[in-house]
């Protein structure tokens, strides 16, 4: 029996989604081996590889369909028939969420992001939020009849690791003491622990994620594990509150490697631990960032429907490369690359996009905000302030199409909104300012330890989160640390040299003189004195060269996303 073309196309797209996610799981499955072998460079390579799997398979399916089809099939009725056939295939399909986003991506690739209409895509899911049955039990359940110590012992014994424990009895005792201190008499009434069977790997750490159920409350329960110099495993922290777990799932962290054949079920469990996290955040955190992008767009549409404020220019100093706007009631900003850059910005649009891609694929170490990239993004025209529309048409006219009903932006990034660091420190009291300066310097050092040099270190390019954490968010001048040539300023040859308009020494393209940071960063005496006290090493070329030597020998520091009070 000959298969109808619409059904054949639907099957081809779903087969492509299966192949993509199968490869995604293959790379993820190697996380335990990389962790146990302490193959940290392999960890970073796998992160980059897994991110690129999706686009690679979308391209393969796109080419396949172009070979199968011709222009006579590019009709509305045929496209709607393909979508209807695809919906039938998704009934009882365990990864319908990923498959719907894959369908959208293939469609956009075929039509080069044109002819994008809601009825032809899965702007909303066809499955109504169905939670699929997990192919194996998602959770392990532990009851406390034998006491806290014995319960934790069983939990650790069930972990899949093949390497030796540094001192498992010590770790069990520490966890027991922490739980008794935090929950006290409630534990004596009995409790249950439910743990996700699969560990969550990221960088040098692995996380066991679950929850504790007691008589009158349910709390997250997370154990953070590391390896020592001998390659033995040990528990480094115990986290048992929602805020603490939310920090582990931060938007400024790399994506987890967790084996999830039915991600909707895993995300549903995680959302119970972190009710303030959205579906887009959780899907993205577990590595399904393309579906996270779909969910973010759905959340944006929902917010538009329940709000009535207008988009406006974002707070802060305007950038030379990006125009940034936001909706006051919404927690994200929208960033549009300008058509022309200021003369001092020696780059083009392709360079800027490459920098944002670098950040997406790199270890963000809790200090760089993740972004989602969109094409042909449509906004309701009546929600735009005249000031914003005038600016966009002035600085990026090639990317803006305005009609009576909508504003279409051909390319933009969405990024979490934060308080610009320069605004934050202007309003901060003495204690908050000290903490902010400490955070800013720590951010630069932690980025450098991860082989990232921020480039443009002006305060306006950093933001402050609700946890008062300083995050870098302007990437057009970012580079790998090992590419930078840190130099000391040579002494002047003659007294007149210091008065000259031009430097008396040669300056190469990648040369950076840390001594100059004082000049363009420390314009406030309050900030200057704190910097000299807390981070004077940042002004020394030898400090940066030392970090470069660490990178050269494969020594990548990791900054762990939990509070000191949660560590042992």
Q: What single string gives the DSSP state of each residue in 61-74?
A: HHHHHHHH--GGG-
Q: How many CB atoms are located within 10 Å of the residue 375 CB?
A: 14
Q: Is 269 helix (H, G, I), strand (E, B) or coil?
A: helix
Alpha carbon 174 to its chain centroid, in Å, reads 32
Burial environment of residue 427 by CB neighbours within 10 A (0 to 12, 13 to 18, 19 or more): exposed
Q: How confident is the model at residue 299, as a pLDDT?
A: 97
Q: How confident is the model at residue 556, as a pLDDT?
A: 72
Q: How confident is the model at residue 2, as a pLDDT?
A: 43
Alpha-carbon span 467 to 565, nearest angstrom: 15
Closest CA to 102 of 217, 223, 263, 210: 263
Find out whether 363 and 203 touch, Cβ atoms under 8 Å.
yes
Maximal CA-CA distance, the chain:
91
Alpha-carbon span 141 to 454, nearest angstrom: 45
DSSP string spanning 116-162? --GGGTTSS-SSTT--PPPSS-SEEEEE-TT-HHHHHHHHHHTS---
Q: Strand pairing partners for 210? A: 195, 221
Q: How many CB atoms are located within 10 Å of the residue 393 CB?
A: 13
Q: How confident is the model at residue 404, as a pLDDT?
A: 93
- pLDDT tens-digit profile, the chain (568 residues): 346 899 999 999 999 999 999 999 999 999 999 999 999 989 999 999 999 999 999 999 999 998 888 777 778 888 899 999 999 999 999 999 999 999 999 999 888 766 667 788 999 999 998 999 888 899 999 999 889 999 999 999 999 999 999 999 999 999 999 999 999 888 888 899 999 999 999 999 999 999 999 988 899 999 999 999 999 999 999 999 999 999 999 999 999 999 999 999 999 999 999 999 999 999 999 999 999 999 999 999 999 999 999 999 999 989 899 999 999 999 999 999 999 998 888 889 999 999 999 999 999 999 999 999 999 999 999 999 999 999 999 999 999 999 999 999 999 999 999 999 999 999 999 999 999 999 999 999 999 999 999 998 999 999 999 889 999 999 999 999 999 999 998 888 777 777 777 787 888 889 999 998 988 888 888 899 999 999 999 999 999 999 999 888 877 777 888 888 888 8
Tens of pLDDT along 443-469?
Answer: 999 999 999 999 989 999 999 998 899
Alpha-carbon span 415 to 251, nearest angstrom: 9
Question: Residue 546: which residues within 8 A CB-CB, separation 6 or more?
Answer: none
Alpha-carbon span 368 to 362, nearest angstrom: 10
Q: Is 329 helix (H, G, I), strand (E, B) or coil?
A: coil
Residue count of the chain: 568
Instruction: Specify the pairing of strand 485-486 against strand 511-512.
Output: parallel
End-to-end alpha carbon distance in the chain: 66
Q: CA angle, corner 419, sides to 557 and 320, nearest 5?
A: 85
Q: How confident is the model at residue 27, as a pLDDT?
A: 98
Q: Is 563 helix (H, G, I), strand (E, B) or coil?
A: coil
Q: How many CB atoms are located within 10 Å of the residue 13 CB?
A: 26
Find out whether 562 and 248 touch, Cβ atoms under 8 Å.
yes
Question: Residue 433: which residues within 8 A CB-CB, separation 6 or more?
Answer: 425, 526, 527, 530
3-class secondary structure per residue, 94-122? CCHHHHHHHHHHHHHHHCCCCCCCHHHCC
Alpha carbon 185 to its chain centroid, in Å, reads 39
Alpha-carbon span 564 to 561, nearest angstrom: 10
* Residues tagged active-site: 370
Structure token digits, residue 376: 């042909």
Question: Residue 262: which residues within 8 A CB-CB, separation 6 or more?
Answer: 94, 95, 132, 133, 134, 135
Closest CA to 415 of 373, 385, 457: 373
Residue that has been written with the tokens 């480039």 in this structure: 455
């Amino acid at each position: 029996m000959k298969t109808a073309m619409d059904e054949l196309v639907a099957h081809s797209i779903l087969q492509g989604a299966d192949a993509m996610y199968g490869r995604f799981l293959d790379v993820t499955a190697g996380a335990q081996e990389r962790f146990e072998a302490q193959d940290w460079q392999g960890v970073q390579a796998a992160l980059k590889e897994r991110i690129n799997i999706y686009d690679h398979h979308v391209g393969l399916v796109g080419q396949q369909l172009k070979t199968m089809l011709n222009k006579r099939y590019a009709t509305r009725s045929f496209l709607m028939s393909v979508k209807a056939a695809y919906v039938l295939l998704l009934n009882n399909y365990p990864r319908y969420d990923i498959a719907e986003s894959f369908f959208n991506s293939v469609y956009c690739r075929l039509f080069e992001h044109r002819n994008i209409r809601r009825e032809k895509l899965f702007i909303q899911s066809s499955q109504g939020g169905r939670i699929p049955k997990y192919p194996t039990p998602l959770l392990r359940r532990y009851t406390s009849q034998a006491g806290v110590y014995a319960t934790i012992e069983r939990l650790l014994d069930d972990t899949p690791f093949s390497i030796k424990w540094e001192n498992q009895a010590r770790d069990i005792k520490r966890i027991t003491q922490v739980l008794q201190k935090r929950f006290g008499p409630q534990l004596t009434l009995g409790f249950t622990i439910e743990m996700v069977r699969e560990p969550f790997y990221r960088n040098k750490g692995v996380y066991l994620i679950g929850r504790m159920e007691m008589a009158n409350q349910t709390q997250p329960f997370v154990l953070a594990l590391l390896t020592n110099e001998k390659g033995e495993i040990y528990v480094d922290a115990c986290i048992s509150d929602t805020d603490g777990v939310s920090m582990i799932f931060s938007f400024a962290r790399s994506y987890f490697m967790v084996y999830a054949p039915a991600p909707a079920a895993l995300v549903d469990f995680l959302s119970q631990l972190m009710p303030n996290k959205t579906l887009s955040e959780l899907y993205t955190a577990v590595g399904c960032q393309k579906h996270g992008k779909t969910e973010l767009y759905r959340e944006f549409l929902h917010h538009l429907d329940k709000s009535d404020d207008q988009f406006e220019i974002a707070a802060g100093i305007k950038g030379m490369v990006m125009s940034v706007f936001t909706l006051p009631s919404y927690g994200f900003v929208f960033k549009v690359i300008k058509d022309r850059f200021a003369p001092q910005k020696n780059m083009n649009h392709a360079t800027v996009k490459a920098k944002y891609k670098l950040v997406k694929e790199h270890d963000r170490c809790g200090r760089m905000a993740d972004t989602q990239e969109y094409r042909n993004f449509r906004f309701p025209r009546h929600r735009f302030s005249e000031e914003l529309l005038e600016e966009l048409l002035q600085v990026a006219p090639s990317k803006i199409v305005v009609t009576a009903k909508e504003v279409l932006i051909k390319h933009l990034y969405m990024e979490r909104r934060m308080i610009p660091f320069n605004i934050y420190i202007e309003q901060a009291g003495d204690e908050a300012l000290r903490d902010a300066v400490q955070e800013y310097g720590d951010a630069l050092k932690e980025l450098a330890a991860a082989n990232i040099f921020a480039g443009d270190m002006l305060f306006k390019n950093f933001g402050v989160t609700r946890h008062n954490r300083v995050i870098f968010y302007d990437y057009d001048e970012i580079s790998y640390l090992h590419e930078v040539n840190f130099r000391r300023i040579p002494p002047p040859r003659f007294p007149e040299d210091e008065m000259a308009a031009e430097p008396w020494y040669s300056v190469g393209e990648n040369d950076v003189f840390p001594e100059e940071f004082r000049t363009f960063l420390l314009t406030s005496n309050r900030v200057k004195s704190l910097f000299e006290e807390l981070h004077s090493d940042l002004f020394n070329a030898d400090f940066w060269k030392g970090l470069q030597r660490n990178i050269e020998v494969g020594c990548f520091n990791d900054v762990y996303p939990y509070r000191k009070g949660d560590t042992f």
